[in-house]
Structure formats: C-alpha cells, structure tokens
Structure 1
Amino acid sequence: MCLYDTAPMCFKGSYHLFYQYNPKGSVWGNIVWAHSISMDLVNWEALEPAIFPSEPFDIKGTWSGSATVYPDGNPVIYYTGVDAKGQQVQNYAIPADITDKNLRKWVKPKEGNPMVVADKEINGSAFRDPTTAWQANGYWNILVGSRKGSTGVAYLFKSKDKKTWTKTARPLHEVPNTGRWECPDIFPVSTSHEKGLDFSELGKDVKHVLNVSLDVTRFEYYTIGTYFPDQDKYVPDKGQVDGWDGLKLDYGNFYASKSFYDPVKLRRVVWGWANESDSKEEDVKKGWAGILPIPRTVRLDTSGKQLLVWPIDDIETLKGNKVQMSNQQLETGKPVKISGITGNQADVEVTFSIPNLQKAEPFDLSWKDPRDLCYKKKSRNRHSTVMTNVYKPMFGGFVDVDLSDRKLSLRSLIDKSVVESFAAGGKTCSTSRVYPTLAVFQDAQVFAFNNGTEPVTLEHASA
C-alpha cells in the first residue's frame, strides 16, 4: 500500500477523502484516486477508487488535485492528468449520480477535458496539483503549481462558467530559488474570530494564507498576507519569510497538505501526508509507504503573524483510560515515568514550569534551521532501540512564545509508528515516523524527561 496527497471535502453532511493510492504495492506506481467516506473524520469506510487512468488526457497518470463543492451543491474534482505524450494537463471529473450521497462513481466528461493545458510560458513537465476553486469578482479561480527555472510559481486560472479557464497575465505569486511548487493551497483566515472561513470569503477582517510544498526540499512553508482579487495577486505581509526558511504547518514528516472548509463545524481543516524516504526494499518489507496523520484545525494566532495548528476535537471519541500526574520535579537526566498507559497509542498533554530564566541560552539570530540546531545539541543515545536501516532524521521547529509565566506546554499523539507533537498551543508542531525494536506494544512506556542544564517542574500531565 502506497498512500499520499489528499483532496478532502464535505458533501451533504458527509466527509469525503480522495487520496493518491497504489492498491497493488507499497512503492509508487499504479496510482489511482482512492475514496473514503466518514461522518466524523475519525471512522472511515473505503469505497472503490473514484478516478483511474482511462482517457487520452490521463492515460499515463491521474495525479494530485482538489475537490470543490459549488454553491449549487454540485461537487467537482480537479486533478492533474498525464497525457499520452507525457505532458501534465489539468482535468475535471463529476459524479455519475448526484443523488448518490456516497458519490461512488465519477465520470470524466469528454467536453472540456483537458480543461487546462500548458502554453509556451508553462513547463508542461512541471505543471500540476490544481486547487479547490474559489469565487471573486464574478470569476471562479484555481491555482496550479509549477516552476520557471528555479523560480516556484502558482499560476492563476479564471473562469466565468467553470468550464473555460484562462491564465491570468501573471502568476498569483512566485518566489525565486524555491524550485517547483507542488500542491499550492490558498485559503482565508479570520482576524476577528476563531471560526474557519469558506474559500471565497473576502472582507476587511480577512487575511489569506498561501501554503506550498517544495519539491526540492520535500518540506512545505506558508506565508500570511493579502489577496488582491482586482489585481490577481497575493502579497505576503511585511516580515513574513517567503522561502525555504518560512513558517511551516509542520516541521517534520509532513508534505503535500490540503485544507478544506468544514461547514458542519465551521472550521478550516488541513490534512497532510506523513511521507517516508526509505528504500523500495524497506517499503516492501513494511508493506506500506506513507500515511495520513490526524486531521488538524488551523486558525490565525492573535498576533496575526502565524497559524495555530491543533488536532481536531473529534478524536476525543477515541480516548479510553485517563491518567494524571502533578508537581513532579524533573532533574537533568532523570526521567519520570507516567504510569497507567503504554506508549503504543496515547494522547499526552504536559505543562512544564521553569523556575527561572536567568541561565537560559539567548536565541542566536544566526540559527536558521532548527534541524541543524537539534543535530548539534541532541543527546547521544548509548543504545540502539530503533530500526537502523530506515529513514529517521531529527526534526525541530522554532516557536515564538511568551515565557512571562515561565510555562511551556506540549501535546503528543502517539500511534505506533507515528508521533505528532504540538507545542505552545499549536504554535509549532512536528510529525515523525518511528520504528522501535524494543519499545513496542505493551512494552512501550511514557516518560517525562529533562535534557536541559537546570531542573524544571512537570506541573501537570494528562494522558
């Protein structure tokens, strides 16, 4: 099983998730658009694939894209097809039976397909991943990721009738030296409340987020800025880092994410792909390659300078036995066990209290990549307790946090080979794949530890 890249949507109260999937093996190939449905974003039923190569405009590949539910209630899938000549073109598919709530069958109309092809300006071998459509000034809009040399590009296409699409005079946004952009995603966020917004929302209390996946680095980054529909352009806010070192929805194994607006709970939900970079031989041994982490809500932080990312509250239904711990001193190098649960599957929330900051190391402005810093400062393990021949890099993310109360919070979701950690209420998070050889199933335990130079207090832990 090979799984990656998502296209979520909500249709008539049900959640639909489309994703790139190889039903024949755990390596890339034989890719179809798999389709699963849910009533709660937690429990899923797999249906038959929605799209697979079958037409001249996608006979060599049905690649990533998005799903749009238009105001008339009709859903449309926009996706990248690889045609018989190997060129990447943008296509669409519609339900065969709109009265079927589960939307089991999809068709690709002959009329209007392919709907967008590369012109002389566009690199037809790097032109993919159309976004969910949004409306502005009487036009429907989609973005398609690409590159011009080493410049990352989000091309903008507009349509009055949702059938004929025209490229704008210039891209919505482009950034030199970022390489090919994949899975671009633009969405609005409110500056006045915590609820999510529909893709087409505009107004004075609205900012926009542009998130792109960088093929060169296999990481994403996003900026917060202003979308100018009259000018067909997006401008990041002053101070936003628009490039490799920019803000990330996740600083770990997280790529090709896609968001959608949930009209049931009025929230913006983002889904990413916890990718892996092991050899084909290792993926075959494991039997899978790539999974989808827990869906997350995203909203604008009160500072207006970054997003807050947090697991959806629907996962509360999965919780069982609860244990708590309070006021435990954490001496350097002396872990404290959190008893009553295993580390095989757990949701752990902790608050650390720092007695003083007098000996805290000042932040060095030369620190650009938190991963490099983690490698330099990491504690060396004396024993090998994880598989030695799989991809296991170290991840880290900087977080801008107010320490006036001298407290830090951390939440970690652990599910066998996946660890998702959220710090400071979602100001930074990191997803990692782990393959332990000793701490497995009931032998996996949970510890709080302190690798710093001064004692701290575990003020409260709930698991």
Structure 2
Amino acid sequence: MVHYHSGLEVFLWWFVCTIEELESLRSKHIVVQNTQVSSGGFFEVQGIDSSQVDVELTFEVTGLEKAEAFDPSWTTNVEALCGQKRANVRGGARPFGLHVLALANMEERTSVFFRIFKAQTKYKVLMCHDPTRSTLRPNMYKPTFAGFVDVDILESAKISLRSLIDHSVVEIFGAGGTTCITSRVYPSTAIGRNAHLFVFNNGLANVKVSKLEAWEMKRPFMNGA
C-alpha cells in the first residue's frame, strides 16, 4: 500500500528534523532568570559569542492598560507600521525585545521586538524586525519586516521570543513560532567578538524576563566538511 503524505505532514517532518539538527549544534549555554527590565532599561547577555547564537526568552507582560489604540488600517501594511514605530519609538505597552548584532555602545544594532496595541475586543501583538541601525555603511537597503502574532496576551500575560543569529542572518519566532521572520543584515563593525546581545524595554511599564536561555552555535558540517 502506498501512503501519500500531505504537504503539512512533509513540512512537519522537515521542521522537526531541522530543529533537532539545529539543537545538536548548541554549545556553550547561559541562563538568566527573573530579571526585571525597567521602562527605558536594558541589560547585556554576557558570556557567549553573540555573532552566532540561539536565544530563547519569555517575557511577563504588565501595564496593558497603557497600550496604544489600534488602527484597523494597519493590518494592510504591517511593515510600514513597524517602520513608523521602530524600536526607539517609546510606546505605552512597549516595545520590548532584543538588540542583536549590536556594538557595545549600540550605535550599530538590529532590533527585534514586540509592541502591543488595544483593539476593540482584544489586544493585538506586533512582532517587528527593525534593521534601520544595523550597519554604519551608507546607502544600504534596510527594510523593516513585521507580522501580527496570534496570542491572547491578556489571558497568558506572557509571550516568548526566539532568535537565531548567524553572523548576518537573523531569524525570529514569536509565541513558539506562531509568527516567523527571516532577514539578512550587513553589520560593518558588530562582527565576531564585537557583536553583543541586549534585552531592552522602551515601553512605559516594566517588563520581566522570566527566563532566558542562550547557546553559542557550532558551525554545521556541510557536504561532509
């Protein structure tokens, strides 16, 4: 008997195999727990090479009453919304997230973050990839990318973010992969040991990192090499 696999079954098989292979490349490991990030605050994730890293963290969210009102027209162009409300634009209920491939002074950085809006019947969570300060090189193409995350933030009061950084490739997964974004950036100085990783909060209310885990990543074997 021949069994035909659906496209979803094939994708799930590929996804599980990819995750298992990826996690086999993890090496040096650090953990940060129960860390409060005040309004306008940040902290550096230290002790690992941040130019090639897998980081997972969960935020505990409060202060939702401070969320900005949601404009339904934003659903038609989320990239423009992300470009308008970048990581350095302070809002009511955030932005909060990571600065990756960043210089120690953050003059160069790529920001991946969440921002929360109050719609008529629920809260809308936007996940953004903001590369506008990702390089000091002039005249580089630096588009923003974004997507809404399907999560009931009022009920859960938590949201997870995972980011895979591989020198110039940045992948982010919101709420366990509900929304995923992959992009390439071109840092000029935040390279190798000059690349740093920060957790930040530019919202008006505090946010708590209940747990953060980060792993340095080994180079994969390619074609047996």
Q: TM-score, normalised by structure 1?
A: 0.34
Offset of 1:432 from its aligned partner?
1.2
Offset of 1:362 from its aligned partner?
3.8
Offset of 1:336 from its aligned partner?
0.7
Provide the residue aligned with 1:331 in structure 2. 38
Q: How does 1:385-404 map to 2 (within 5 A)?
A: 386=135, 387-403=137-153, 404=155
How far apart, in 2, do the equivalents of 1:388 and 1:409 lie? 34
Provide the residue aligned with 1:369 in structure 2. 77
> What amino acid sits opposite 1:427 in the alignment?
T
How far apart, in 1, do the equivalents of 2:134 and 2:152 lie? 36
Change (3 A) 1:444 1:382: closer
Q: Which moved more, 1:352-361 or 1:405-414?
A: 352-361
Aligned-CA RMSD value: 2.6
Out of 195, 200, 204, the position equivalent to 1:453 is 204
Q: Is the 8 A contact 2:168 2:185 kept in 1?
A: yes
Change (3 A) 1:416 1:382: closer
Q: Is the 8 A contact 2:173 2:181 kept in 1?
A: yes
Q: How does 1:118-267 map to 2 (within 5 A)?
A: 187-189=6-8, 196=9, 261=10, 267=12
**Is the counterpart of residue 405 in structure 1 residue 156 in structure 2?**
yes
Provide the residue aligned with 1:432 in structure 2. 183
> What amino acid sits opposite 1:449 in the alignment?
F
Provide the residue aligned with 1:462 in structure 2. 213
How far apart, in 1, do the equivalents of 2:18 and 2:41 lie? 30
How far apart, in 2, do the equivalents of 1:427 and 1:445 lie? 26
Q: What SS does structure 2 have at the residue aligned with 1:396? A: strand
Q: What SS does structure 2 have at the residue aligned with 1:342? A: coil
Deviations 1:252-280 (A, max 9, x none): xxxxxxxxx28xxxx343xxxxxxxxxxx
Q: Is the 8 A contact 1:342 1:446 kept in 2?
A: no
Offset of 1:369 from its aligned partner?
1.5
How far apart, in 2, do the equivalents of 1:188 and 1:311 lie? 16
Q: What SS does structure 2 have at the residue aligned with 1:389? A: coil
Change (3 A) 1:399 1:385: closer
Q: What SS does structure 2 have at the residue aligned with 1:320? A: strand
Larger radius of gyration: 1
Q: Unpaired segments of 5 or more residues in structure 1?
A: 1-70, 72-133, 136-186, 190-195, 197-260, 270-295, 298-309
Offset of 1:433 from its aligned partner?
0.6
Q: Is the 8 A contact 1:350 1:460 kept in 2?
A: yes
Q: Relative CO higher for 1 or 2, CA cutoff 8 Å, sep ≥ 6?
A: 2
How far apart, in 1, do the equivalents of 2:36 and 2:171 lie? 25
* Runs of at least 4 residues off by over 4 Å: 380-385
Q: Is the 8 A contact 2:164 2:172 kept in 1?
A: yes
Q: Is the 8 A contact 1:330 1:457 kept in 2?
A: yes
> What amino acid sits opposite 1:331 in the alignment?
S
> What amino acid sits opposite 1:391 in the alignment?
Y
Q: What SS does structure 1 have at the residue aligned with 2:81? A: helix
How far apart, in 2, do the equivalents of 1:345 and 1:434 lie? 14
How far apart, in 1, do the equivalents of 2:147 and 2:180 lie? 7
Q: Unpaired segments of 5 or more residues in structure 2?
A: 90-105, 109-132, 215-225
> What amino acid sits opposite 1:376 in the alignment?
Q
Provide the residue aligned with 2:19 in structure 1. 312
Q: Is the 8 A contact 2:40 2:204 kept in 1?
A: no
How far apart, in 2, do the equivalents of 1:311 and 1:331 lie? 36
Change (3 A) 1:428 1:311: farther
Q: TM-score, normalised by structure 2?
A: 0.67
Provide the residue aligned with 1:229 in structure 2. none
How far apart, in 2, do the equivalents of 1:317 and 1:268 lie? 17
How far apart, in 1, do the equivalents of 2:138 and 2:152 lie? 38
> What amino acid sits opposite 2:142 in the alignment?
K
Offset of 1:385 from its aligned partner?
5.5
Offset of 1:317 from its aligned partner?
1.0
How far apart, in 2, do the equivalents of 1:366 and 1:385 lie? 28
Change (3 A) 1:354 1:442: same
Q: What SS does structure 2 have at the residue aligned with 1:375? A: helix
